[in-house]
Amino acid sequence: MSKQLIFIIVTLLTLGVFTFTISRIVSFLKLTKPGFPIDRISERINLTLLVAFGQTKILRRPVIGFMHALVYWGFLVITIGTLEMVVDGIFNTERILAGTGAFYDFVMWSGEVFAAIIIISCIIFLVRRHIIKVKRFSGAEMTKASSIDATIALTMITLLMVSLLGTNLGYIALNTSYYGSFPVSKIFLPMVSSWETESLHSLEQTGWWIHIVLVYLFANILPYSKHFHVFMSVPNVFLSRLEPLTKIQNMEEVTKEVKLMMDPDTAFANPPEGEAAAEPSRFGVKDVEDVSWNNYVDSLTCTECGRCTSVCPANITGKKLSPRKIFIDLRKRMNEKGPGLVKEGMSFSDNKSLVGDYVSAEELWACTTCNACAQECPVNIDQPSLIVDMRRYLVLEESSAPAQLNAMFANIENNGAPWPFPPTDRMKWAEEIYTAN
């Protein structure tokens, strides 16, 4: 069986598995509620260029942020070379982009430089995670599996870069005249100068196959790990909310009812004869079928970097809340309940829910809605909106709120204001001032 045929079979298998995974995610996405409209396209494009491609939020932490940005930018360049490998494998060609001249030289040169930078960066990232043990990488939600996931991903990325350099080294060692510029591989050229042609060919082909297989394997592992943000970060930033972070969205169901009550023509009117009463929708978020598609996409994009939790004033002061955990829990819960909802419909129940079994009321009420988490998130996840919607469920559906809020609700109902004084007493505080003057 020829190399070309083997490669085509491997490629088709990879695409098949990836298509199945994406279709599964899309089926979960269909379970969610509508989100905000996708408008103001030019603003979204500018935001994507700055935050996703420019890595402006990552660069707020200059040293480690710049290293992460270099890894990201490096992947963008190296992807061009990887696509060339795929085309070469399918059509049995060699260096098909070589005819682009100076552009090809630049892509190969920058790809080699970035590969070396990425290898060094991944080693530093592993040291930070396992030796230095940076605090934000820990927490109740950060299980051993999460740490293993990160370690596997960083190891695979390192091997991807090593195999790329090995492929290039074999290529330039085999050819006295070659296309492209390979500054890093040239450094190691003396190490293989005495190798026979067959060994050099094996080096090139082994590196080529390892690189491609790792790329295919990585693409199919990503959707099941926190590193899915490699695919999701750009679309998530493009789809992020453009309103000020402090703006809390009104509930459409409540707004509609208030407008009906304020309208003299409908406030006391009987429903049309024969019209069945519509079943009220759930207020707020209890489980995964209540979240908006924006919330679910946010959960898929979460990198578990912990920047949100590290700036959360509630978490810093010892409260149970971790904004990162909220979205990790949402992703886990959808993976748990989603298949049943897809198979049996929205009536499916496993007698568990996101609020209560995954996220406690204590966590939700610890949030101050200061939006520090959303401001800091490098992929523009909107944590407070989901937290507020879950609190809405507790108040409107479960009549569950802290005592201080219940007192305020009672005051608003009885006195028309949050204070425990009737309207007739509201100006008493000013009587002494008036008398003194």
Residue 276 has pLDDT above 90, yes or no: no
Residue 272 has pLDDT above 80, yes or no: no
Residue 271 has pLDDT above 70, yes or no: no
Q: How confident is the model at residue 429 (pLDDT cuts 50, 70, 90)?
A: confident
Quote the pLDDT of residue 321. 96
Quote the pLDDT of residue 274. 54
Q: In terms of C-beta distances under 8 Å and separation of at least 24 residues, what long-range contacts does 277-284 make, across chains too? A: 280/253, 281/253, 282/393, 282/397, 283/251, 283/253, 283/254, 283/392, 283/393, 283/396, 283/397, 284/251, 284/389, 284/390, 284/391, 284/392, 284/393, 284/394, 284/395, 284/396, 284/397
CATH topology of domain 252-263+280-415: Fumarate Reductase Iron-sulfur Protein; Chain B, domain 2 (1.10.1060)
DSSP reduced 3-state for 292: strand
Q: How confident is the model at residue 267 (pLDDT cuts 50, 70, 90)?
A: low
DSSP assignment of 296-363 equals HHHHHH-----HHHHH-HHHHTT-S--HHHHHHHHHHHHHHHHHHHHHH-TT---S--IIIIIB-HHH
Kindly report the average pLDDT of the chain as a whole number: 91
Quote the pLDDT of residue 279. 58
Domain ranges within the chain, ordered by starting residue: 3-30+61-234, 252-263+280-415
Quote the pLDDT of residue 226. 85
pLDDT digits (tens, 9 = 90+) for 170-184: 999 999 889 999 999
pLDDT above 70 as % of the chain: 96
Quote the pLDDT of residue 426. 78
Cα dihedral sign, 70-75-76-77: positive
CATH of 3-30+61-234, one of 1.10.357, 1.10.10, 1.20.950, 1.10.3470: 1.20.950
Residue 40 has pLDDT above 90, yes or no: yes
Quote the pLDDT of residue 273. 61
Q: How confident is the model at residue 263 (pLDDT cuts 50, 70, 90)?
A: confident
Neighbour-count burial for 223-245, b at 16+ CB within 10 Å, e otherwise: bebbbbbbebbbebbbbbeeeeb
The two most distant CA atoms of the chain are separated, in Å, by: 105
Quote the pLDDT of residue 382. 95
Q: How confident is the model at residue 217 (pLDDT cuts 50, 70, 90)?
A: very high
Amino acid of residue 130? H
- 255 touches 263 (CB < 8 A): no
Integer CA distances (angstroms), 77 to 110, 433, 437, in order: 7, 71, 75
Dist. CA 386–CA 77, nearest whole Å: 36
pLDDT digits (tens, 9 = 90+) for 84-110: 999 999 999 989 999 899 999 999 999
Query: Which is higher by pLDDT, 144 or 434?
Result: 144
Query: 3-state secondary structure string, 153-205?
Result: HHHHHHHHHHHHHHHHHHHHHHCCCCCCCCHHHHHCHHHHCCCCHHHHHHHHH
Quote the pLDDT of residue 166. 96
Integer CA distances (angstroms), 405 to 397, 409, 412, in order: 15, 6, 10
pLDDT digits (tens, 9 = 90+) for 367-418: 999 999 999 999 999 999 999 999 999 999 998 999 888 899 889 888 888 8
Dist. CA 61–CA 5, nearest whole Å: 47
